[in-house]
Amino acid sequence: MAQANSVSNTAKHGFKLPPIVVILVALLVAELVFHLVFGSVSHFTNESRKTAKQGDLIGLIYKGGFIVPFLMTMLIMVITYSIERLLTISKAAGTGSIETFLRNVKAKLAANDINGALAECNKQKGSVANVVQAGLRKYEEMERDTELLGEQKVLNIQKEVEESTSLELPSLEQNLPILATIATIGTLIALLGTVIGMIKSFSALATTGNPDPSELSQGISEALVNTAFGISTSAFAIIAYNYFTSKIDKLTYAIDEIGYSLSQSFASRKH
């Protein structure tokens, strides 16, 4: 168990900041960019900022209204956590190809070269190598054990691999729920912005006499910009979440495969 705890210490990487801190920083950055960059007079036909210059996408986004900074906040968070997860999961995978590493370890096991297999782990590094290393240490320990039966030794090896895996996986899945939440909330907030924009449009149409074209266009712009921004943010979050989940699944399958190989190798040598 002590070995498993030492393995988990190497796996604890990723953002240490609480999500609320990341949210507040992202919101601050979004507000500054929205008002100072997107709200710059240079993007509009006059200082009132009622009409964006033709073809000016930044000015058009600014016309989306107060919902836009919240959507920008979520987009910043998606980008931030995607970069963080990419670095973390790449580090967890190790320095080389997982497939090559597994082949090398299996070859060492077939040749009963435990030290060689441990050397492969030290060279590969990462979460998979950490779990395999813990399993190999238990493998060596069980070979020296003269009291336990063969089946008990195999079960101990399997248990060690499972415990090491349970300590490694949480660090790989860290922050993924945030991406999944943004994927849902992004669409809802965009819908809220769309509804607010449409309300403004209908209010302009309901004005006695001729409706104010600027108010009408303001509402329509707000509705469409929020819809586009929110859907894009949610789509990005969904793609990122699925990509990282598939990466973690690949690492998990690799751990399961090598754990099975360890057990089978030990069992075959004892018969």
Q: For 27-84, write each residue's pLDDT tens digit.
A: 999 999 999 999 998 988 888 787 778 778 888 888 888 899 999 999 999 999 999 9
| The pLDDT value given to residue 259 | 81
Per cent of the chain over pLDDT 90 is 25
Neighbours of 95 (CB within 10 A): 12
Q: What is the mean pLDDT of the chain?
A: 83
User: What does the alpha-carbon distance between residue 129 and residue 7 come to, in Å, rounded to a whole number?
Assistant: 10
Within the chain, how many helices (H) and strands (E) appear? 10, 0
Mean pLDDT value of segment 192-200: 82
Q: Where are the alpha helices (DSSP H) in 174-212?
A: 176-205
Category of 54 on φ-ψ map: left (φ > 0), alpha (ψ -120 to 50) or beta? beta
Provide the token pair at 114.
């435990």
| The pLDDT value given to residue 108 | 86
178 within 8 A of 241, measured Cβ to Cβ: no
User: What does the alpha-carbon distance between residue 49 and residue 42 come to, in Å, rounded to a whole number?
Assistant: 9
Mean pLDDT value of segment 145-161: 80
Provide the token pair at 94.
């190790």
Picking from 5-9, 67-71, 128-132, 222-226, which range would have the lowest pLDDT averaged per residue?
Answer: 5-9
191 versus 197: which is more confidently predicted?
191
**CA distances for 32 relative to 43, 225, 252, angstroms:** 16, 19, 41
With b for 16 or more beta-carbon neighbours within 10 A and e for fewer, the 49-73 pattern comes to eebbeeebebbbbbbbbebbbbbbb
User: What does the alpha-carbon distance between residue 271 and residue 266 come to, in Å, rounded to a whole number?
Assistant: 9
For residue 193, pLDDT over 50 is answered with yes
Residue 194: burial class (beta carbons within 10 Å; 0-12, 13-18, 19+): buried
| The pLDDT value given to residue 4 | 42
Mean pLDDT value of segment 197-209: 70
